């Protein structure tokens, strides 16, 4: 069987296994510390995508199911980001920046009529926003927490100079944590020149004109950048107030 982009043949499972083992081997040989995680992540991806593929047609036809699916996505994103930032009791605080970035952007898109409120549209758009905010929150949170932990003496020195606790912490962790926006910025800057993102390619394969595909991709990229910027801002604020520390 052949789709618009991938040929589904008997060799496909073999190719997937080879690629998975290649990634795990690279991580193991390079002592990156994530060899097992590569295998686990790919295994989970297979199971999760099979489950979603089987359920999505039913989910998008029922409003309650759509809402439940979105909440499930949000919960998983929150837990994943929180676990990456801290293993203490503050895990669920990671849900605050993820929601702060996703909800207002989604509200603007749907409230203005730019995107439809149908489940088949809302689910993938929300997934894109949640995924971006998950990454931004994780990167910003880890850097902020690490900087505040490792440079505790500098924070105390700033306090001695008359800075407030919040101001002292911001001076130390904000420059490093703000780098979490770099991947989104680079993706937006280089779109069409280095990469052709999924929304653009998918629209073209679905029969849309290049202009229509370009407009859709532009909306996605701008919305994603706005959501991630908010998520990083809120993450830094939570970190300097001590909510994300172990």
Query: Which residue in 83, 82, 78 sits closest to 102, CA to CA?
Result: 78
Q: Would you say residue 25 has pLDDT above 80?
A: yes
By the 8 A CB rule, do 220 and 199 touch?
yes
Classify residue 2 by its DSSP letter. Answer: B
pTM for this structure?
Answer: 0.84
Q: How far is CA 86 from CA 39, 112, 139, in A?
A: 23, 37, 12
**Distance from C-alpha of 157 to C-alpha of 167, rounded to nearest angstrom:** 12
Tens-digit pLDDT profile for residues 120-166:
889 989 999 999 999 999 999 999 988 888 888 888 888 888 888 88
Tokens of 43: 């295994």
SS3 content of the chain, % helix, strand, coil (to 5): 80, 0, 20
Which has more confidence, 60 or 131? 131
Question: What pLDDT is recorded for position 110?
Answer: 92
* Residue 119 banded pLDDT, cuts 50, 70, 90: confident
**Distance from C-alpha of 127 to C-alpha of 172, rounded to nearest angstrom:** 32
* Residue 90 banded pLDDT, cuts 50, 70, 90: low
Which has more confidence, 117 or 86? 117
Tens-digit pLDDT profile for residues 1-16:
555 566 778 888 899 9
């Amino acid at each position: 069987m052949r789709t618009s982009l991938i040929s589904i043949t008997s060799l496909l499972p073999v190719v997937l296994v080879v690629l998975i083992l290649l990634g795990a081997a690279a991580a193991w040989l390079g002592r990156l510390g994530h060899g097992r995680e590569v295998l686990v992540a790919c295994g989970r991806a297979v199971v999760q995508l099979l489950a979603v593929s089987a359920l999505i047609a039913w989910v998008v036809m029922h409003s309650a199911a759509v809402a439940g699916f979105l909440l499930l996505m949000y919960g998983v994103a929150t837990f994943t980001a929180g676990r990456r930032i801290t293993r203490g009791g503050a895990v669920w605080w990671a849900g605050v920046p993820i929601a702060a970035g996703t909800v207002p952007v989604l509200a603007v898109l749907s409230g203005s009529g730019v995107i439809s409120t149908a489940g088949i549209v809302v689910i993938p758009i929300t997934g894109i926003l949640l995924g971006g905010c998950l990454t931004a929150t994780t990167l910003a949170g880890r850097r902020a927490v690490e900087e505040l932990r490792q440079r505790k003496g500098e924070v105390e020195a700033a306090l001695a100079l008359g800075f407030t606790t919040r101001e002292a912490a911001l001076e130390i962790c904000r420059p490093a944590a703000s780098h979490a926006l770099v991947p989104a910025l680079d993706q937006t800057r280089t779109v069409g020149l280095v990469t052709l993102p999924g929304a653009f390619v998918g629209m073209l394969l679905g029969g849309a004109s290049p202009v229509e595909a370009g407009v859709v991709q532009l909306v996605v990229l701008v919305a994603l950048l706005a959501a991630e910027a908010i998520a990083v801002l809120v993450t830094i604020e939570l970190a300097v107030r001590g909510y994300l520390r172990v």
